[in-house]
Amino acid sequence: MTKIIEPSKQSSIFRRPSSETGIWSWITTVDHKRIGIMYGYAAFFFLLIGGLEALILRIQLSQPDNNFLTAAEYNAMFTMHGTTMIFLAIMPISAAFFNYLLPLQIGARDVAFPRLNALSFWIFIFGGAFLYSTFIFGTAGAPEGGYLAEEVGWLGSAPNGGWFGYQPNAGMKYSPGTAMDYWAIGLQILGIASLISAFNFITTIINMRTEGMRFMRMPVFTWMTFAVSFLLAFSLPIIAIALFYVTFDRKFGTTFFLTEGGGDPILWQHLFWLFGHPEVYILILPAFGIVSEVLPTFSRKPLFGYAAIVFAGFGIAFIGFGVWAHHMFASAISPVAQAGFGLSTMVIAVPTGVKIFNWLGTIWGGKLKLNTPMLFSLGFIGMFVIGGLSGVTHSIVPADTQQTDTYYVVAHFHYVLFGGALFGIFSGLYYWFPKVWGKMYNESLGKIHFWLMMIGFNLTFGPMHWLGLQGQVRRTWVYAEETNLQFWNIVVTVGAFIIALSIIVFMINWIFSKRNGEIAPFDPWDARTLEWTIPSPTPVWNFSTAPIVKSLDDFWHTKYSEDEDGRAVKRKEADQILLELEEDGLNPSEHIALPNPSYFPIVLASGLPFLGYAVIYKSIPLALIGTVLLLIGAFGWGTEPLEEEIHLDSDE
Amino acid sequence: MSSSHSYPHEPTGVETRKLGMWVFLSTEILFFGTLITTFMIFKGSDFPGMKLTDVYDIPFTSISSFILLMSSLTMVLAHNALEANDQEKTRVWLLATAMLGAVFLAGQIYEFTEFYHKGFELTTNIFSSSFYVLTGFHGLHVFIGVVLLLALWGIGQRQKGLTLEGGMNLEFVALYWHFVDIVWIVLFTIVYLI
């Protein structure tokens, strides 16, 4: 089977890109699968950087009164660790899954707006590069008379006001220099990327479902993508405006969050957490979706309480907008507000608990196959329950006042975001590895990765609970020897390095299995969803013909029927069906028009960092360069048809 | 070659681009919602210095608001003309809409300059800051709308003319334009009248 690409006849500003392989084919691609893969690699790269920053922090804290880092450098490292992990690692890795899987799971050929999809990826890349360019161009000074007033090296020339950017600490007076401007504008750019992908996914799910794919037949991962997209669409505008205000305060002398000009620092906290709490669910719901796919497959049972899990997901998303002030119990908010937000925080544990019990119900009585994805999903449930329970303890306001700004809080949210989100993500990476590469990963290395990570993770974040209750404060670069905190701090640091080791095992497994792994069989996991009804790696055109869906878990029902006791029995013709599916999937019988690659998404996206620099340095030429790039991108985009004289055919 | 007969899309019956625009506008509500909320909080607070009431000119702003509202009417007329496949009329009404939008923008620039000369500047007080950021953000939306309308008008000059389907179509821009107009009604009421 060969593919024929007819040359482009219409010329635009640039000649239409036509290469199918090589670097340009990736730069100009609008294929959701390639964009998903690029998202994955870019996010993993940032995950490594964020991890490196965490290791640097842990080296500093392994000894009392350590001077491995200066206070200023420590501030920069924890700020960049948080910002990187949230905005540049976990969110885009989730976006990688959305991109790759969403169209496959609903039986579509691509997302609703393929070029917009490429645009959001490139904006993310440029946003990340912009944020990290602070290490080269940024400056971070110290407030006059502050004890940070010392020589700040390149390591300290990064944003240093925390990922939460509390005002007025992150304002010009207490965080002089340009580093926090890089932070505010960098997040603004990254926010645009996420907003665009949110429109795209919402529209895709509503309007691109294949015949018979009703809402209540969609896989749970698709449902969670839907919920996350709504969370993004409704929470990012809030932080965007708040970051506008910060930029105005820092660059143009307004006082939105500064008390000396009548502004309100607490308003920043409200706006930030009104975004920041839904953000927590933006990070965790994709993992919920992944686990809801993995558990039924490896338990060989349908998902227990499909509708309950779907509605609980949306319940979490909805209530998630009503709990933000529990991050502010120690700020000056009224007792009534404290009681109210304490209650709503307890309430949100209910739909979360519903999900946990449904997952347990799914495993219950199943024939468990303990492959690596399943191990990570089971680990996810355990770790997430610990993190969730310590989260509920924060809803008790007096207890929370005690725990605020201690390592107890750090332990809590790492159990949720690492033990939860990241374990779910690794589960998904192993689960869909055969789908993406057409090869099998190495099962023993996968299991070594899991156990190393499980041990390292608990050694790192478990002791933080008691360190916090003993009173070790977060965001502080030293602790005194007399506090007797040293022992557990060393344990934590050792744990962190074990996690690093497990990541190396993962990378080795990934690289070697991708190159030399066994060829993956068609449908290696005996799975239930549409993406496994097509060959691996996924053909460019996804589905040769639009699949028609007749029920929830349609693929499973094609392979299995029930006996009198309701047990699954493999149909006689199942193997034959799989063979036919593979044959059909590789040989589309009709012409397939695919959206063409385009230069304009990357051109358009490249204008944004220039506009960012223009604001930071108040430079008209930079603003002009940025605007011209935006205009070229937009004009080229508008005049270039999505599909033109190029067909992707199979010659038969 | 289209494969649409074997690949059904749009189970909702709403055109995908239009749906995308609706989703976009729903987030715009939160953009403006956050700005308006902040503005209201600071408006009610105790701040020193000038207020908007010291400098504004209600008749002037009312007229420019009326002009923006009329542009929604011309937008509808453009849409009607296109439905009747009258390309020339469509272009005329599109240009009229863009011009009305531009007049509104000119009015806003004139107004801002006047305020500045009277001493009501961006950093005068917390109220003036939130006033300029809020109305300026809306002005930026009108500006983008005018650019979109002119682009549409330009596309209409080509031989094929405009259609109601595909690409950046008239309905798509019209939705955006009406939204920006509606937001102005809210802003005018909250900022100037209350």
Question: pLDDT-based confidence at A63, cuts 50/70/90?
Answer: very high
pLDDT for B4 equals 39
Mean pLDDT of A214-234: 95
Q: Where are the alpha helices (DSSP H) in A169-210?
A: 179-207
Is-contact A534 A543, C-beta < 8 A? yes
More confident: A473 or B7: A473
Tokens of A210: 């294949």
Helix axes A32-61, A71-83, angle to 10 degrees: 150
Cβ contacts of A367 within 8 Å, gap of 6 or more: A299, A300
Closest CA of chain A from B165, distance in Å: 12
| Residue range A294-301: mean pLDDT, rounded | 94
Residue B157 confidence (pLDDT) above 90:
no
User: In the predicted model, is pLDDT for residue A286 greater than 50?
Assistant: yes
Q: Does the structure show a pLDDT above 60 at A8?
A: no
What is the identity of the amino acid at A360? L
Chain B residues whose C-beta sits inside 8 Å of any chain A C-beta: 1-3, 6-12, 14, 16-17, 19-20, 23-24, 26-28, 30-31, 33-35, 38, 41-42, 45-48, 122-123, 125-126, 129-130, 133, 137, 151, 155, 166-168
Whole-number Å distance between alpha carbons of A403 and A394: 8
**A3 three-state secondary structure:** strand
Q: How far apart are CA A595 and CA A616, in angstroms?
A: 37
Q: Residues A326, A339: contact at Cβ < 8 Å?
A: no
Please list every residue in chain B whose beta carbon sits closer than 8 Å to the beta carbon of residue A263: 42, 126
Q: The tokens of A128 are what?
A: 């990340």
Alpha-carbon dihedral angle through residues A521, A522, A525, A531, given to the nearest 10 degrees:
140
CA A546 to chain B, closest CA, distance in angstroms equals 5
Give A519's strand partners.
A439
Residue B169 pLDDT class (50, 70, 90 cuts): confident
Give pLDDT tens digits for A115-161.
999 999 999 999 999 999 999 998 887 776 665 556 677 888 899 89
- Return the amino acid letter for B103: V
Burial of A266 (0-12, 13-18, 19+ CB in 10 A): middle
Structure tokens at A34: 């390639």
Is the model more confident about A151 or about A430?
A: A430
* In contact, A501 and A456? CB cutoff 8 Å: yes
pLDDT at A101 over 60: yes
List residues bridging with A650 in a β-sheet.
A3
| Cβ neighbours of A107 in B, within 8 Å | none
Helix or strand (DSSP H, E) at A650: strand A649-650
Following DSSP, what letter does each residue of A547-594 receive, concatenated?
----STTHHHHHHEEE-TTS-EEE-TTHHHHHHHHHHHHHS-SS-B--
pLDDT of residue A148: 57
Return d(Cα B132, Cα A584) in angstroms, integer. 60
A585 has a pLDDT exceeding 80: yes
| In the predicted structure, residue A506 carries a pLDDT above the cut 90 | yes
Query: Among the listed ranges A380-384, A414-418, A572-576, B14-18, which one has the minimum average pLDDT value?
Result: B14-18
What is the rounded CA–CA span in Å between residue A568 and residue A367? 11
Strands A649-650 and A3-4: antiparallel
Contact check, Cβ <8 Å, B34/A641 = no
Show me where the domains of chain B are located: 16-193
Q: What is the pLDDT of residue B2?
A: 34
Using 50, 70 and 90 to split pLDDT, how confident is the model at A468?
A: very high
Q: Which residue of A has its CA nearest to B155?
A: A639
Strand-strand pairing, A560-562 and A568-570: antiparallel
CA-based nearest residue to A278, from A318, A306, A247:
A318
The CA distance from A58 to B33, in Å, is: 42
Closest partner CB to B45 (pick from A198, A254, A262) = A262
User: Taking CA A313 as the corner, what is the angle to CA A309 and CA A319, rounded to the nearest 5 degrees?
Assistant: 135
Task: State what percent of residues in chain B have pLDDT above 70.
Answer: 93
The yes-or-no verdict on residue B168 having pLDDT over 70 is: no
Phi, psi for residue A350 in degrees, rounded to 5? -70, -55
Which DSSP helix (H) or strand (E) runs through A158?
Answer: none
| Residue A9 pLDDT | 43
Q: Look at residue A639 in the predicted model and tell me its pLDDT.
A: 76
What average pLDDT does the structure give for chain A? 90
Average pLDDT over residues A374-382: 97
The answer to whether B24 contacts A253, with C-beta atoms less than 8 Å apart, is no
Whether residue B14 and residue A200 make contact (CB cut-off 8 A), yes or no, is: no
- The mean per-residue pLDDT over the stretch A479-497 comes to 94
Residue A328 pLDDT exceeds 90: yes
- Read off the tokens for A153: 């090296």
Mean pLDDT of A361-386: 95
Domain B16-193: top CATH class: mainly alpha
Q: Residue B14's closest chain A neighbor by CA?
A: A207
Q: Which residues of B touch A203 (CB under 8 A)?
A: 16, 19-20, 23
- The radius of gyration computed from the CA coordinates of chain B, to the nearest angstrom, equals 20
Q: Which residues contact A52 (CB under 8 A, 6 or more apart)?
A: none
> How long, in residues, is chain B?
194
Output the CA angle A91-A97-A102, nearest 5 degrees: 120
The predicted-structure confidence for B51-72, as pLDDT tens digits, reads as follows 888 888 899 999 999 999 999 9
Compare A213 and A642 and report the one with higher pLDDT.
Answer: A213
Q: pTM of the prediction?
A: 0.93
Are A210 and A548 in contact by the 8 Å Cβ rule? The answer is yes
Partner-chain contact A206 B19, CB within 8 Å: yes
Residue A451 half-sphere exposure, CB side, CA atoms within 13 Å?
A: 7
- Stretch A60-87: mean pLDDT, rounded? 93
- Rounded to the nearest angstrom, the minimum Cα separation between A487 and chain B is 47
d(Cα B120, Cα B129) in Å, to the nearest integer?
Answer: 10
Residue B14 has pLDDT above 90, yes or no: no
ipTM: 0.92
Predicted confidence (pLDDT) at residue A303 exceeds the cutoff of 80: yes
CA dist., res. A452 & res. A446, Å (int): 10
In sequence order, the β-bridge partners of residue A92 are: none
Residue A16 has what DSSP assignment?
A: P
> Alpha carbon of A323 to those of A211, A308, A317, A346: distances in Å?
39, 22, 11, 9
Q: Are A496 and A456 in contact (CB under 8 A)?
A: yes
Chain A residues with beta carbon closer than 8 angstroms to that of B122? 252-254
CA distance to partner chain A, nearest, from residue B44 (Å): 12
Share of chain A above pLDDT 70, in %: 94
CA pair distance A461, A601, nearest whole angstrom: 41
Do the chains contact at A252 and B122, CB–CB below 8 Å? yes
Task: Identify which of A263, A220, A113, A256 has the alpha carbon closest to the alpha carbon of residue A553.
Answer: A220
Q: CB distance A198–B42 less than 8 Å?
A: no
For Cα atoms A108, A112, A115, give the angle at the middle one, nearest 5 degrees: 120
- Give which of A509, A381, A375, A373 is closest to A428, Cα–Cα: A373
Collapsing DSSP to helix, strand or coil, A649 comes out as: strand
Question: What is the DSSP secondary-structure string of B73-95?
Answer: HHHHHHHHHHHTT-HHHHHHHHH
Cα separation values, A384 from A369, A421, B175, Å? 21, 8, 43
The answer to whether the CB atoms of A546 and B20 lie below 8 A apart is no
Helices A423-431, A443-469: crossing angle, 10 deg rounding: 170
Return the residue of B nearest to A646 by Cα: B1
pLDDT at A3: 43
The tens digit of pLDDT for each residue in A622-631 reads 999 999 999 9
> What count of other Cβ atoms lies within 10 Å of the Cβ of residue A652?
7
Which helix (H) or strand (E) is A614 found in, with range? helix A600-617
Question: In the CATH hierarchy, which fold is given to the domain comprising A32-539+545-586?
Answer: Cytochrome C Oxidase; Chain A (1.20.210)
| % of chain A surpassing 90 pLDDT | 74
* Interatomic CA distance for residues A584 and A589, integer angstroms: 8
pLDDT of A645 over the 60 cut: no
Query: Given an 8 Å threshold on Cβ–Cβ distance, is A195 in contact with B28?
Result: no
Do the chains contact at B34 and A593, CB–CB below 8 Å?
no
- The pLDDT value recorded for residue A150 is 60
CB contact (8 A) between residue B126 and residue A271: no
Distance in angstroms (rounded) separating the CA atoms of residues B11 and B1: 21
Helices (DSSP H) in A470-524: which residue ranges? 486-516
Determine the residue of chain A that is closest to B134 in CA distance: A241
A208 contacts in chain B (CB < 8 Å): 9, 16
Residue boundaries of the structural domains of chain A = 32-539+545-586
* Predicted pLDDT at A642: 64
Dihedral (Cα; A482, A483, A487, A491), 10-degree rounding = -140
Helix spans in A62-148 (H): 71-83, 91-105, 114-132, 134-137
Mean pLDDT along residues A12-23: 66
Q: Which of B26, B126, B167 sits opposite A261 (nearest CB)?
A: B126
CA distance A75 to A162: 7
Question: Are the C-beta atoms of A159 and A182 separated by less than 8 Å?
Answer: yes
Across the interface, do A208 and B16 touch by the CB < 8 Å criterion? yes
Q: Report CB contact under 8 Å: A207, B19.
A: yes
DSSP code at position A109? S
Mutate to test the interface with A, among B1, B26, B29, B34 (most CBs of A within 10 A): B34
Whether B122 and A234 lie within 8 Å, measured CB to CB:
no
Record the tokens describing residue A492, joined without a space. 């934590």
Angle between helices A372-393 and A443-469 (to 10 degrees): 10
Cβ of B16 and A203 within 8 Å? Answer: yes
How far is residue A296 CA from its own chain's centroid? 23
**What is the tens place of the pLDDT at every residue in B104-132?**
999 999 999 999 999 999 988 999 999 99
